[in-house]
Amino acid sequence: MNQPVRFRPHHFLCALGFQGKGYSDSFTQNMAGVVAQLRGPAGGDTRIAVTGQADSLCAPCPHRRGQSCVKAAQIAALDERHAQALGLEPGQCLTWAEAQSRIRKHVPPGSLSDLCAGCQWLEFGLCEAALSALHRD
Ligand code: SF4
């Protein structure tokens, strides 16, 4: 069986909203590959391990510093809010289908302005649009 993808808590919603924007070409290419797996025919069965450190999306990020980040305080705050909203803890493993179900249940449309406060991608509205689409499905 393949190793699970590793996500820090706020990356569940980032993966839902991803539309090809990122911090560098290698970051974007890597994230596009992970997201393509999640959105593929058997994507809902993809296992995702929750981590409190740099994860499968952070790996090629130019902001990563070892297992941490140049914006560590801001990222920790994002992770804390998202972990609380979705009931996530490091060490848990869930499928992408289960993660989407938690998002539907616990993250109503319009919540990202609070949940994702400080994120540079918030203003594009892509993540809110994906969240609304998930609730319509
Ligand atoms: S606004 Fe930022 S933190 Fe929130 S889901 Fe989008 S990319 Fe992730």
Q: How far is CA 91 from each of CA 25, 48, 49, 53, 126, rounded to the nearest angstrom?
A: 30, 10, 6, 11, 29
Q: Distance between CA atoms of 108 and 30, rounded to whole angstroms?
A: 28
- Nearest 5°: the CA angle 57, 59, 60 is 100
Task: Name the helix (H) or strand (E) containing 40.
Answer: none
Q: Is 68 helix (H, G, I), strand (E, B) or coil?
A: strand
Q: Which of 51, 4, 2, 14 is nearest to 130 (CA)?
A: 14
- Mutate which of 12, 38, 127 for ligand 1 pocket (most atoms within 8 A of beta carbon): 127
Q: Residue 99's pLDDT is what?
A: 98
Q: Residue 116's pLDDT is what?
A: 98
Over residues 100-118, the mean pLDDT reads: 97
- Nearest 5°: the CA angle 134, 5, 71 is 85
Q: Residue 132's pLDDT is what?
A: 98
Give the structural domain span for 42.
5-136
Q: What pTM value is reported for the model?
A: 0.96
pLDDT tens figures, 61-97: 999 999 999 999 999 999 999 999 999 999 999 999 9
Q: Is the pLDDT of residue 7 over 90?
A: yes
State the residue for tokens 């249940």.
105
User: What value does the CA radius of gyration of the chain take, rounded to a whole number of Å?
Assistant: 14
Say what angle helices 72-86 and 96-106 make with each other, to 10 degrees: 80
Over residues 48-58, the mean pLDDT reads: 97
Q: Residue 2's pLDDT is what?
A: 76
- Mutate which of 7, 10, 35, 75 for ligand 1 pocket (most atoms within 8 A of beta carbon): 10
In the DSSP assignment, the letter for residue 53 is S
